[in-house]
């Protein structure tokens, strides 16, 4: 390959990864920024406990809608155009929420932001994987989870920067900057070659060849990959079927659907959303000041981001099931510590503050190295090709539903029962998650998708690792 080709190739590749990364960071920022903002919104807009949960979960309801329609729209409009529309939706929702003057405006525009989150959560990983060279395609699946944690961390830093001024509007409003950059930048990037071949019968292959030559640097490499895409599209057309709910619960797929649904259930009901959305609220309840709680939250966000890295490294070495099992153990121990600390009636002081913060840090580290990245890798591996797209979309939609349920109800449950009993409940769900990972979940490490499909076609119980 000539040096000229190398020079032409590198800027295109880096621009694609940059704008793809921006989509993941924006997803994380908009989900994480509310944890600090919710402490100060009542300065301007009084909120009951239920209204707090509604403001937080409005984004998640929108995300369900965005994720639910993204699959069909990505095939109809194209990956690039849908990401552009997602960026525009982000801008509208962010500005509206930042300028909100009542609960209805906050919830409504948080819902609009959520539609953008749902679109990005489905389409950006799809776009990146379809443009990536084969040698790094697999890494991008778990990389997306890392980028989301980066976005959450940046949201926590922004919350801290505006904590002294209590300016929640700037906390939310600054999210418009990456949204605008994403919308403008993605417009300059190429469409997915796979979409061009699959969805444009007239001229699609020629357009795809142009894109691949730009990305891979030589006509030979482009033609080789184009041949693979043609074959992949042919196989998918022959083997993929429209998925009805009844199909997913047919005798052949019932067990796999149950495993996938339990995976997304436990990922949300082990309590992660209470930490991501409400850690500052929990910390102020045990004696932290608002600024101190948000400062501690920055540390929690850093742990969340950094512990995702060993999870990405271990997932193909230790395997999916061992990570989930040991992650559940760590989370369960942390939740027991938090429950006991709050239920024994310790007075506010350094001991209570230290134990609470330590429990949260151990919990978030255990989740970030295991249940955080593993779900997004494991879900597509579980289902046969012919139903994979529909089955994953079904499970991801329920993932957002479970996320929303926890976010909506937690403030009211916290007010009604106190933190201790809620932590005890999550200790029990993490123990149940350990049993699920040990007794029901199959191991998929080091196996081809075809191998996995053959072994899971029959209802065979997984052997303990």
Q: Where are the domains of the chain?
A: 1-189, 247-465
Residue 90 CA, chain-centre distance (Å), reads: 16
Instruction: Specify the pLDDT at position 100.
Output: 93
Query: Which class does domain 247-465 fall in?
Result: mainly alpha
Instruction: Specify the pLDDT at position 455.
Output: 64
The 10s digit of each residue's pLDDT in 361-393 is: 999 999 999 998 888 778 877 877 677 767 887
Angle between helices 3-32 and 79-98 in degrees, nearest 10: 40
**Local confidence band at 425 (pLDDT 50, 70, 90 cut-offs):** very high
Q: Comparing 1-189 with 247-465, is the CATH topology the same?
A: yes
Instruction: Specify the pLDDT at position 62.
Output: 92
3-state secondary structure of 457: coil
Instruction: Specify the pLDDT at position 456.
Output: 66
Average pLDDT, the chain: 82
The 10s digit of each residue's pLDDT in 212-240 is: 877 777 787 778 878 877 777 777 677 66
Query: CATH number for the 1-189 domain, one of 3.40.718.10, 1.10.3720.10, 2.60.40.3080, 1.20.1250.20?
Result: 1.20.1250.20
Radius of gyration of the chain (CA): 22
Euclidean distance between CA atoms 82 and 71, whole angstroms = 10
Euclidean distance between CA atoms 463 and 438, whole angstroms = 8
**Local confidence band at 440 (pLDDT 50, 70, 90 cut-offs):** confident
Question: 462, 359 in Cβ contact below 8 A?
Answer: no
Closest residue by Cα to residue 148 from 137, 160, 136, 140: 140
- Which of the listed ranges 158-167, 212-221, 406-415 does the model predict with the highest average pLDDT? 158-167
Q: Please check the confidence at residue 192 and state whether its pLDDT lies above 50.
A: yes
Instruction: Specify the pLDDT at position 3.
Output: 40
Q: Which residues contact 105 (CB under 8 A, 6 or more apart)?
A: 96, 97, 99
3-state secondary structure of 91: helix
Rounded mean pLDDT of 407-418?
85
Angle between helices 320-343 and 371-382 in degrees, nearest 10: 140
The first and second tokens of residue 293, run together, are 């709680």
Residue 198: how many other CB atoms lie within 10 Å: 20
**Local confidence band at 9 (pLDDT 50, 70, 90 cut-offs):** very low
The 10s digit of each residue's pLDDT in 26-60 is: 888 988 899 889 999 999 999 998 899 899 889 98
* pTM for the predicted model, two decimal places: 0.80
Instruction: State the virtual CA torsion across 62, 360, 443, 460 in degrees, nearest 10.
Output: -80
Instruction: Specify the pLDDT at position 367.
Output: 94
Q: How far is CA 103 from CA 38, 41, 45, in A?
A: 12, 10, 7
3-state secondary structure of 307: coil
Residue 338: how many other CB atoms lie within 10 Å: 27
Q: Please check the confidence at residue 415 and state whether its pLDDT lies above 90.
A: no
Instruction: Specify the pLDDT at position 10.
Output: 42
Instruction: Specify the pLDDT at position 465.
Output: 45
């Amino acid at each position: 390959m000539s040096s000229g080709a190398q020079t032409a190739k590198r800027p295109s590749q880096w621009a694609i990864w940059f704008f793809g990364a921006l989509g993941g960071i924006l997803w994380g920022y908009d989900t994480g920024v509310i944890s600090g903002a919710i402490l100060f919104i009542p300065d301007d807009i009084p909120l009951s406990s239920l209204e707090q949960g509604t403001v937080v979960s409005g984004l998640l309801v929108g995300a369900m809608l965005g994720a639910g329609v993204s699959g069909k729209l990505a095939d109809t409009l194209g990956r690039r155009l849908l990401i552009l529309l997602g960026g525009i939706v982000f801008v509208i929702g962010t500005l509206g929420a930042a300028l909100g003057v009542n609960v209805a405006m906050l919830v409504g525009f948080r819902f609009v932001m959520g539609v953008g989150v749902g679109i990005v959560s489905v389409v950006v990983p799809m776009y990146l994987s379809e443009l990536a060279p084969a040698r790094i395609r697999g890494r991008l699946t778990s990389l997306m989870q890392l980028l989301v944690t980066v976005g959450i961390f940046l949201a926590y830093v922004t919350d801290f920067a505006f904590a002294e001024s209590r300016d929640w509007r700037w906390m939310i409003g600054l999210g418009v900057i990456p949204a605008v950059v994403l919308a403008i930048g993605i417009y300059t990037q190429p469409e997915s070659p796979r979409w061009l071949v699959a969805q444009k019968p007239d001229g699609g292959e020629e357009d795809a060849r142009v894109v691949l030559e730009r990305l891979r640097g030589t006509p030979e490499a482009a033609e080789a990959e184009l041949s693979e895409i043609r074959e992949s599209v042919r196989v998918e057309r022959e083997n993929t079927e429209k998925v009805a709910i009844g199909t997913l619960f047919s005798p052949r797929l019932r067990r796999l659907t149950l495993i996938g649904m339990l995976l997304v259930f436990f990922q949300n009901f082990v309590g992660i959303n209470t930490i991501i959305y409400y850690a500052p609220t929990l910390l102020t309840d045990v004696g932290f000041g608002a600024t101190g709680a948000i400062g501690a939250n920055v540390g929690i966000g850093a742990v969340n981001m950094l512990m995702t890295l060993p999870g990405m490294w271990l997932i193909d070495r230790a395997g999916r099931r061992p990570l989930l099992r040991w992650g559940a153990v760590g989370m369960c121990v942390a939740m027991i510590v938090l429950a006991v600390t709050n239920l024994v009636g310790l007075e506010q002081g350094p001991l209570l503050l230290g134990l609470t913060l330590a429990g949260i840090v151990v919990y978030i580290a255990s989740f970030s190295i295991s249940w955080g990245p593993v779900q997004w890798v494991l879900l597509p591996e579980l289902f046969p090709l012919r139903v994979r797209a529909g089955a994953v979309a079904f499970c991801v939609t329920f993932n957002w539903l479970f996320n929303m349920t926890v976010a909506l109800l937690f403030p009211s449950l916290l007010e009604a029962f106190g933190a201790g009993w809620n932590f005890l409940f999550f200790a029990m769900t993490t123990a149940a998650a350990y049993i699920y990972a040990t007794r029901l979940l199959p191991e998929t490490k080091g196996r081809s998708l075809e191998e996995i499909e053959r072994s899971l076609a029959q209802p065979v119980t997984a052997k303990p690792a």
